[in-house]
Structures are given as structure tokens and as C-alpha cells.
Amino acid sequence: MKVTDRRMFTDDGELREEYRFLEQQKAGTAAEKPPPVASEGGPASAGGVPPGGAEQAASATSSAGSDAGAAQMPPRGAQSPGFMDLVAVLAEPIAFLLGDAQLPDGQSAQDLPRARLHIDLLAVLQEKTRGNVSEQETALLEDLLAQLRMRYVEKSRG
């Protein structure tokens, strides 16, 4: 069994060569193409996925021998995920957990305690980002939370 060090930094605290493109991107001088990664799985396996590169990381991780896909950056012009994308990811399972949507196999996955946990996580996100997001994002999150809370109360009472 071969063990590969996939940490972003060396023991001396220096950024590893395969992660230099992140530093360049942050400085605003995006590299044409990041250097190829010698290790199997590349930075995507270590959690160092570039913004918007989740799909590429997933496909690269699923095909074990494909080092090229793991080291690629998202195409130019691809938008990085924003605040509402995070809200959508947190809110997505709530419909299933409230029993309003069915799983692909037709089963219901109603789990009210977990639904409440997800709703509470959205409320924490709302509290922690207060004053740091646009008015439109604030309004959308408030509306979403109000609707989810009402639906939760309906489900828990009946």
C-alpha cells in the first residue's frame, strides 16, 4: 500500500507546488493551467477543491487513474458558488425530511427532528451573515425560513 502526502503545506509551512495555482488565483493572476499533480487523486481528494470545481473533483475522484481531471481548474467564465448556492444546499434535503418529496425509489423519508436541524442551520447562517449579505439575499433567506418553519409546524401538529 502506497501512502501519499496530500496536505496543502510542507512540514516547513510552505505551499506545495501542486497548490500554487490557488495562490496565483487569489492574487488575481490566474495561471493558464495548474501544474500536473504527480499523486493519485490530486488536490481534489484532499479537500483543496477550487471554487466551482466540485463536479470536476467528483468525476476525477471517481476515476482512480485520471490525474488530469483532478488538477484542472473550472473553465474561465464559470461562476463560483455564492451565498444562495450555500442556502440551496442546506435547504435541499428539508423537503425530503418533511415528507413533502419522495425519494427516487418512491419512499418517503420523513424525519422531523432532522428537518428541524436543517431549518435551525439555516437560521444560524442567517444570524451569522446578518449585515454581510445583500438585501435581496436577506429577504430570500427570511422568506425561505418563514415558509419552512410554517411547513414544519404543520407537519409536527398533524
Judged by average pLDDT, the poorest of 30-39, 94-103, 112-121 is 30-39
Average pLDDT over residues 96-117: 88
Residue that finishes a domain, picked among 36, 59, 78: 78
Pick the residue with more confidence: 108 or 4?
Answer: 108
Residue that finishes a domain, picked among 44, 78, 112: 78
Residues 54, 92: one domain? Answer: no
Residues 6, 74: one domain? Answer: yes
Check if the beta carbon of residue 6 is closer than 8 Å to that of residue 45.
Answer: yes
Check if the beta carbon of residue 60 is closer than 8 Å to that of residue 66.
Answer: yes
The pLDDT assigned to 72 comes to 55
% of the chain at pLDDT higher than 70: 57
The pLDDT assigned to 147 comes to 94
Does the reported pTM lie above 0.85? no
Judged by average pLDDT, the poorest of 9-23, 56-70, 118-132, 140-154 is 56-70
Residue that finishes a domain, picked among 78, 106, 140: 78
- Give per-residue burial for 60-80: e unless 16+ CB within 10 Å, then b: bbeeeeebebbbbbbeeeeee
Residue 113 has pLDDT above 70, yes or no: yes
Residues 37, 69: one domain? Answer: yes
Q: Which domain holds residue 71?
A: 1-78
* Total number of domains constituting the chain: 2
Residues 73, 3: one domain? Answer: yes
CA 105 to CA 99: how far, in whole Å? 14
By C-alpha distance, which of 86, 71, 70, 72 is closest to 118? 86
The pLDDT assigned to 104 comes to 84
Q: What is the pLDDT of residues 15-62, one digit of tens each?
A: 667 766 666 655 654 444 444 444 444 444 344 334 444 333 333 333
